[in-house]
């Protein structure tokens, strides 16, 4: 059974800093790995999707990497802004099953 | 921790039939539930948000008459795909949130294949 862990659980940084969020998974036989953000009162917003054959994906200030062999993914946020404050979740998609990490609550202080 | 149970995990059906997917919160009262779907090689997309006792709010492009969502109790929400067609084949997943909490708990998903 896949287990997904996210570290840290919470992170507070000053505006402008670059930061890295970590996601680890126990079963490397994944179809894909996704990163989401969750804003208060809302559902998930998909940020980046990395297929199992890919090693990274980029969108604007976000870059996500995937290392299946080590069971790790990272989400890099460059030049953080207060609007980036949210909870970030990763999810590993295996056969008929998607497992989410518990999330990292990010606060970017002005 | 809180658990959300989603059933079935996999369903194969013939075109034209209806399929019901259940999402249950096992140890908390889920005042809000979200339904998502993911097509192959695409990102997970929100379909609808349902609050217990109210009509679901559907995202743009999601047909409410085709994807019937019922959230009649604080522990159960159902998604019924009516008159399913092969293009409805997708991975469906629910998430639930309790009153006053921002934390989401997820079902493990349902893989729907329509022949």
Burial of residue A89 (number of CB atoms within 10 Å: 0-12, 13-18, 19+): buried
Higher pLDDT, B114 or B43: B114
User: pLDDT digit string (tens) for A36-88?
Assistant: 998 877 778 889 989 999 999 999 999 999 999 999 999 999 999 999 999 99
How many CA atoms, within 13 angstroms, populate the side-chain half-sphere of residue B79?
A: 33
DSSP type of residue B44: -
Both tokens assigned to A107:
């606060």
Q: B88: helix, coil or strand?
A: helix
Confirm if A80 and A60 have CB atoms less than 8 A apart: no
Q: Average model confidence (pLDDT) for chain B? A: 90
Burial of residue A45 (number of CB atoms within 10 Å: 0-12, 13-18, 19+): middle
Q: B49: helix, coil or strand?
A: strand
Residues in A closer than 8 angstroms to B45, CB to CB, are 46
Q: Percentage of chain B surpassing pLDDT 90?
A: 63
How many CA atoms, within 13 angstroms, populate the side-chain half-sphere of residue B68?
A: 11
Residues in B closer than 8 angstroms to A34, CB to CB, are 43-44
Interface contact A93, partner B, CB < 8 A: yes
- Report the C-alpha gap between B25 and B104 in whole angstroms: 11
Question: Among residues A98, A16, A103, A54, which one has the least CA distance to residue B10?
Answer: A98
Calculate how close chain B gets to A47, using CA atoms only, in Å. Answer: 8
Higher pLDDT, B14 or B39: B14
pLDDT band of residue A96 (cuts 50, 70, 90) is low
Q: Average model confidence (pLDDT) for chain A? A: 92
Residues in A closer than 8 angstroms to B93, CB to CB, are 98
Query: What is the predicted pLDDT for the residue at B2?
Result: 66
Q: Percentage of chain B surpassing pLDDT 70?
A: 97
Q: What is the DSSP string of A43-107?
A: -EEEEEEEETT-SEEEETTEEEEEETTTTEEEEEE-S--GGG-EEEEEEEEETTEEEE---EEEE
Q: How many CB pairs under 8 A join A and B?
A: 53
Query: What is the predicted pLDDT for the residue at A99?
Result: 86
Least CB–CB distance from A96: residue in B102, B103, B109: B109
User: pLDDT digit string (tens) for B23-79?
Assistant: 999 988 988 999 999 888 777 888 999 988 888 999 999 999 999 999 888 999 999
pLDDT at B87 over 90: yes
pLDDT band of residue B1 (cuts 50, 70, 90) is low
Is there a contact between B46 and A40 if contact means CB atoms under 8 Å apart?
no
Query: What is the predicted pLDDT for the residue at B53?
Result: 83
- Report the C-alpha gap between A18 and B114 in whole angstroms: 45
For residue A98, the chain B residue with the least C-alpha distance is: B108
């Amino acid at each position: 059974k896949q287990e997904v862990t996210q570290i840290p659980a919470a992170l507070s940084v000053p505006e402008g800093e670059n930061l890295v969020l970590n996601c680890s998974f126990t079963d490397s036989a994944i179809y894909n790995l996704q990163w989401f953000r969750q804003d208060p009162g809302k559902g998930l917003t998909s940020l980046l999707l990395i297929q199992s054959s890919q090693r990274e994906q980029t969108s604007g200030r976000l870059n996500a990497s995937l290392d299946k062999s080590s069971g790790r993914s990272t989400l890099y946020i460059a030049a953080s802004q207060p609007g980036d404050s949210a909870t970030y979740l990763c999810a590993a998609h295996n056969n008929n099953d998607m497992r989410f990490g518990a999330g990292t609550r990010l606060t970017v202080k002005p | 921790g809180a658990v959300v149970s989603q059933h079935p995990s996999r369903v194969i059906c013939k075109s034209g039939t209806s399929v019901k997917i259940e999402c249950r919160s096992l140890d908390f009262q889920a005042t809000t539930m979200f339904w998502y779907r993911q097509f192959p090689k695409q990102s997970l997309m929100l379909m609808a948000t349902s609050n217990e006792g109210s009509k679901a709010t559907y995202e743009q492009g999601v047909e409410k008459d085709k994807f019937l969502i019922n959230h009649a109790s604080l522990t159960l929400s159902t998604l019924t795909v009516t008159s399913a067609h092969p293009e409805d084949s997708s991975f469906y997943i629910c998430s639930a949130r309790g009153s006053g909490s921002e934390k989401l708990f997820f079902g493990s998903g349902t893989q729907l294949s329509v022949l």
